């Protein structure tokens, strides 16, 4: 296959991994000790050799258990004490989105030693709070990045490479279909926003990563009859409309009884790519997949594979891109400022569902008097 690919000028090195800088020894302070921090963030950082020097949690015994499991030398009984720790250069937050604002607001008071923050997604429960967090960090000179980790899923990065190289031509239609029942965290039960804010945000941000910003979004939602707490958007169904005619469709079915999975497909004028996301079978785990066909070799489906997985290896990339930004003085790939566009898309999605029409993200930013730039 390699010889055939070379004669057809196909580069099968799809650059699916993170692009780390040369300095990866920034000292990390972890806030949170639940599953996503203990078993995903910290597992990824251990594999990459990142230096986690301290941890704190709402439940100190959980922090101590995570520290023992992952070899972290210092445990703080309160996140405020961790922020005041002069050894911490990067703060990694894995707290509920309605709690992150308070942490960031306190962190900017320690800008002398805190250089960067990696916040969990969603950055906040609404665009206004997210914008204020970005403003606070900008004024303090702290680099803010957001853990939109699906951008570092290996199949998404490989697909981005195919699109950039033109192997698929001009994108015509894209699809993400999720049929997987989330285990909603307890804190979500207090929100009036469920599926779009906490799950569809992965797919909406991935579409932004792959194709840029849409002109409008059209959304329909319904309740999930198996979700016990009050909610409106238990499931979400949406279409992103792009100026060049591309339509990107999402079906986030949180009700499914069986056969859990996430599938995606992109068709272009010169080829088609399809694949799966390896998340739903965690912790056993399996890598995401990619198959693609291009008119440069119209009779052959290429099926590159890799051993890395979305959980946990993608999280090397989300922290790594922040470290690289600090090293080079550049904007992170997933900066807080860029993430305001994802949050604006979330606001537009909820407005579309409520009003039954396609809504431009610019409407949400205009309401707040925001000028969201790249």
Q: Are 80 and 108 in contact (CB under 8 A)?
A: no
**CA 322 – CA 47 distance, rounded (Å):** 17
Question: What order of strands is seen across the sheet that includes strand 271-277?
Answer: 216-222, 235-241, 247-253, 171-179, 261-268, 271-277, 289-294
**CA 90 – CA 67 distance, rounded (Å):** 17
pLDDT at residue 1 is higher than 70: no
| Alpha carbon distances (Å) from 234 to 127, 180, 191, 264 | 21, 12, 12, 21
Q: Are 121 and 147 in contact (CB under 8 A)?
A: yes
**CA 337 – CA 246 distance, rounded (Å):** 25
* pLDDT tens string 65-84: 999 999 999 999 999 999 99
Q: Are 175 and 328 in contact (CB under 8 A)?
A: no
Q: How many Å separate Cα 166 from the centre of its chain?
A: 24
Cis peptide bond prior to 229, omega within 30° of 0: no
Find where tokens 């258990």 sit.
Answer: 65
Q: pLDDT band at 371, cuts 50/70/90?
A: confident
Mean pLDDT score of the chain, rounded to an integer? 95
Q: Is 28 helix (H, G, I), strand (E, B) or coil?
A: strand
pLDDT for 6: 44
pLDDT for 91: 99
Q: At what angle do helices 336-355 and 201-211 cross, to 10 degrees?
A: 120
Name the percent of the chain lying above pLDDT 90.
91
* pLDDT tens string 323-354: 999 999 999 999 999 999 999 999 999 999 99
Pair of tokens at residue 217: 């979004």
In the chain, what is the straight-line distance between the N-terminal and C-terminal CA atoms, in Å?
A: 40
The sign of the torsion formed by the CA atoms of 131, 132, 138, 139 equals positive
pLDDT for 7: 42
pLDDT for 358: 98
pLDDT for 374: 53
Q: Are 315 and 147 in contact (CB under 8 A)?
A: yes
pLDDT for 373: 65
pLDDT for 234: 97
Find where tokens 């409407």 sit.
Answer: 363
**pTM for the predicted model, two decimal places:** 0.96
Domains of the chain and CATH, by start: 27-148 (3.40.50.720)
* pLDDT tens string 144-160: 999 999 999 999 999 99
* pLDDT tens string 13-30: 999 999 999 999 999 999
**CA 253 – CA 345 distance, rounded (Å):** 19
pLDDT for 250: 98
Q: Average pLDDT of 299-311? A: 97
Q: pLDDT band at 8, cuts 50/70/90?
A: low
* pLDDT tens string 242-281: 999 999 999 999 999 888 999 999 999 999 999 999 987 8
Beta strand 51-56 with 27-31 is: parallel
**CA 15 – CA 31 distance, rounded (Å):** 31
Burial code (b: 16+ CB inside 10 Å, e: under 16) for 237-265 equals bbbbebeeebebbbbbbbeeeeeeebebe
Q: pLDDT band at 2, cuts 50/70/90?
A: very low
Q: pLDDT band at 124, cuts 50/70/90?
A: very high
Name the percent of the chain lying above pLDDT 70.
97
Largest CA distance in the chain: 61
**CA 235 – CA 113 distance, rounded (Å):** 42
pLDDT at residue 5 is higher than 90: no
């Amino acid at each position: 296959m390699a010889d055939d690919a070379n004669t057809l000028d196909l580069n099968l090195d799809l650059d699916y991994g993170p692009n780390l800088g040369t300095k990866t020894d920034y000292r990390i302070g972890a806030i949170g000790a639940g599953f996503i921090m203990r078993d995903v963030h910290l597992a990824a950082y251990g594999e990459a050799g990142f230096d986690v020097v301290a941890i704190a949690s709402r439940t100190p015994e959980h922090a101590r258990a995570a520290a023992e499991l992952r070899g972290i030398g210092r445990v703080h009984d309160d996140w405020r004490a961790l922020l005041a720790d002069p050894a911490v250069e990067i703060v990694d937050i894995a707290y509920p989105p309605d709690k992150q604002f308070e942490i960031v607001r306190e962190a900017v008071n320690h800008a002398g030693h805190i250089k960067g923050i990696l916040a969990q997604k969603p950055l906040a429960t609404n665009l206004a709070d997210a914008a204020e967090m970005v403003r606070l960090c900008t004024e303090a000179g702290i680099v803010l990045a957001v853990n939109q980790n699906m951008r570092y899923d290996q199949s998404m990065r490989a697909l981005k490479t195919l699109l950039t190289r033109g192997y698929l031509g001009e994108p015509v239609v894209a699809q993400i279909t999720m049929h997987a029942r989330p285990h909603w965290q307890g804190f979500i039960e207090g929100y009036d926003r469920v599926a779009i804010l906490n799950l569809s945000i992965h797919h909406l941000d991935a579409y932004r990563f792959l194709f840029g910003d849409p002109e409008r979004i059209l959304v329909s939602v319904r309740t999930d009859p198996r979700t016990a707490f009050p909610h409106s958007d238990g499931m979400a169904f949406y279409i992103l409309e792009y100026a060049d005619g591309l339509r990107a469709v999402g079906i986030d079915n949180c009700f499914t009884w069986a056969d859990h999975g996430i599938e995606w497909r992109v068709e272009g004028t010169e080829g088609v790519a399809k694949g799966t996301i390896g998340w739903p079978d965690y912790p056993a785990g399996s890598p995401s997949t990619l198959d693609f066909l291009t008119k440069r070799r119209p009779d052959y489906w290429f099926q590159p594979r890799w051993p890395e997985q979305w959980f946990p290896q993608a999280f090397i990339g989300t922290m790594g891109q922040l470290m690289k930004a600090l090293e080079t003085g550049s904007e992170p790939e997933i900066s807080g400022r860029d993430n305001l566009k994802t949050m604006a898309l979330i606001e537009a999605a909820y407005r579309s569902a409520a009003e039954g029409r396609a809504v431009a993200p610019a409407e949400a930013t205009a309401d707040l008097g925001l000028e969201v730039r790249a």
